[in-house]
Structures are given as C-alpha cells and as structure tokens.
Amino acid sequence: MSYSHSKLETYQNCPRKYKLCYLDRLRPEEEGIEAFLGSCFHETMEKLYSELRFRVMSLEETKAYYESLWKKNFHDKVKIVEEGRTVDDYFRLGLKFIEDYYKHYYPFNQNRILGLELELEIDLYGDSRYLLKGFADRIDLTPDGLIEIHDYKTASQLPPQATADADRQLALYQLGIKQKWPWAEKFRLIWHYVAFDQEISSTRTPEQLDQLRAEIAWLIDKMEADLEFPAQESGLCRWCAYWAYCPLKRHEVELDKLPPKQISGRRGGGSR
Ligand code: SF4
C-alpha cells in the first residue's frame, strides 16, 4: 500500500476517519468551502506558472481564471461552517489572495520553475517497504542553485515558525526530490500563507531527515497493526464530512432529521 502525508495526518487526527476515507473508500459529496477555495487558488497558481513559459498572465486575466474555476466547479454540497458567512465572502477572499500574491511576486521571474503539481514517490529506505506519494505545488531552482519546495496555504491562521520546522509534508517531498534528482544538494521549504501575504521557510538537516524516516516508518507500522480505528473527537470534527458514519457523531445527524418537538431536550449541543 502506498501512503501520503494526507493519509498519515488523517490517521493521526482521527483513525476512524482514516478508515472511512482510505480503507472503506467512502467519498462524501460534502466539501468544506475552505477546501473548495483552496482548490480554486491552487489551480489558478498552476495556470499562472504554467503559462510563464510563454507569457505573463495579467492580474485581471488571473482573477478571471479563478472566477471561471469557481463558477464551473461550485456545487450544492459545498458547506459553510462559519456562522454568518456567505459563499460570496469566500469567493472575494480568494480574489484578495490572488491579488496580493500576484502583486508580491510579479513578474514571477525570480527562479526557474522545475515542476508544478509535481508527483513525487518516496521509498523511505529504498527497499519498497515504506512507499509514499505526494504532489508538490511548485519546485523552483534559484539562481544560486537552491531547490525550493513551495506550498500554498489558504489557512486563516499564520502558524509559528516551530510548526514549519516540524512540518512533515515538505520534508517528505525533499526526500522524494532527492530520489528523483540525486544531483539536488541544497533545499529550502517554503510555505506561502496567502491570507497574510507571508512566506515561512525552513530547512532540514540530514539527521532530521533520518529522524523523519524513522517516525514515518513507526507510524505506518502502527496504522497497519490497528484493528480498531477509534474515533477521535477534536475541533476538526466541525469540518469532517463523515458524521453519518461516525460512532461519536452519528446520533446528531439522526437528531437533525427529527421534527423540532422530538429534538427538544435531547440535543447536548455542538451540532454543525
Ligand atoms: S466526526 Fe470527528 S470523530 Fe467522527 S470520524 Fe470525523 S473526525 Fe473522527
């Protein structure tokens, strides 16, 4: 079985959700609007950078591309969790992200682009026991020979540096790039927190990468030995689309279907 950062993270956050999503392969139609906005932003960046081989898209054209993606892909299962927010609020938020990013990096010629949405395969110890896959948003080569691994984040919180220094995903991609291009020597991991127009960057030592390999191998062993996949309630449940299948949340979905009188006095709070 091949793993990914998302699979590992989902398991760590809630083993039951991991089972429902990746082992039972249940695919709920619901999608959080934050994830939807994130997809539209990522696709727009991919278009902007892939066009660079030929030309620089104008800001208006880039925003129009984002708008066309939004309209084409929007569906009635896109859910808003934040009370009082509208679809238009999120649409305009994405436009602002694009405008800020565009103005910050125009004319986008700082580096040479080596890959967009680049698929990476990671064989942790080179013996095919622990295989992982991932897609890096963008890989750059800087004028001084550094490989930069870029990741776009549309999150509404700017994490502390310690979070970037402990991040698994881009460090894993560094391992994948080293396997794909053994000539690559120096790396920088960069997160674009577009809601704040801020970059956060980090690097990894060989010892940290060895430690990462060991931690991932340990986690995969644990996942493969798990027979229970317990549900693990947390703040992330608000955005989970598996309530109907979850032993901790199923009853709330059932209550939502009852007429108001029957619900009265039975709900303990915390509904979506
Ligand atoms: S609702 Fe929460 S506890 Fe239930 S599967 Fe989703 S994340 Fe896990």
- The C-alpha atoms of residue 163 and residue 18 are separated, in whole angstroms, by 23
DSSP 3-state of 23? helix
Query: CA angle at residue 213 from 207 to 218, to 5 degrees?
Result: 130
Ligand 1 — pocket residues by CB below 6 A? 14, 16-17, 231-233, 236-237, 240, 242-243, 246, 248-249
Query: Which residues lie closer than 8 Å to 67 by C-beta, 6 or more apart?
Result: 91, 95
pLDDT tens digits, 49-81: 999 999 999 999 999 999 999 999 999 999 998
Average pLDDT over residues 221-236: 97
Residue nearest atom 5 in ligand 1 by C-alpha distance: 17
**Cα 180 to Cα 122: distance, rounded to the nearest angstrom:** 9
> Domains (ranges, CATH) in the chain?
24-105 (no CATH), 116-225 (3.90.320.10)
pLDDT class of 267 with cuts at 50, 70, 90: very low
Q: Which pLDDT tens digit goes with each residue over 148-194?
A: 999 999 999 999 999 999 999 999 999 999 999 999 999 999 999 99
Best mutation site among 233, 245, 252 for ligand 1 pocket (most ligand atoms within 8 Å of CB): 233
